[in-house]
Amino acid sequence: KQEVTQIPAALSVPEGENLVLNCSFTDSAIYNLQWFRQDPGKGLTSLLLIQSSQREQTSGRLNASLDKSSGRSTLYIAASQPGDSATYLCAVRPFNFNKFYFGSGTKLNVKP
């Protein structure tokens, strides 16, 4: 069974700092990996989707990378802002499966 781990569970940084969130998974046979953002009391908003054949995806200040061989993905946030404060979750879809396995998330606080 695929296991997804996100470390750290919480992170607090000053505004303007560049930061990296980590996601690791145990089985490298994945179809894709998706990063989500969740604000308190809200649903999950899709940020980036990386297919297994891709190494990275970029959207604005966000860049997600994927290294299947090591079972790792990182979400890089450039020039962080207080509005980036939220919980960030990664989800892995194994190859030939339609299930997504979620990490427990990293709660980010960007201080003004």
Partner 1 sequence: DAGVIQSPRHEVTEMGQEVTLRCKPISGHDYLFWYRQTMMRGLELLIYFNNNVPIDDSGMPEDRFSAKMPNASFSTLKIQPSEPRDSAVYFCASRVGPSGQGDSGELFFGEGSRLTVL
Tell me the residue ranges of DSSP E strands in the chain: 4-5, 10-14, 19-25, 30-38, 44-51, 56-59, 62-67, 72-77, 86-94, 101-102, 106-111
Nearer Cβ to partner 1, position 31 or 76? Answer: 31
CB of 14 to partner 1, least distance (A): 27
CB of 43 to partner 1, least distance (A): 4
Binding site for partner 1 (CB under 8 A): 31-32, 34, 36, 41-46, 49, 51, 89, 91, 93, 98-100, 102-105
Nearer Cβ to partner 1, position 18 or 45? Answer: 45
- The dihedral region occupied by 40, where left means phi > 0, alpha psi between -120 and 50, and beta the remainder, is beta
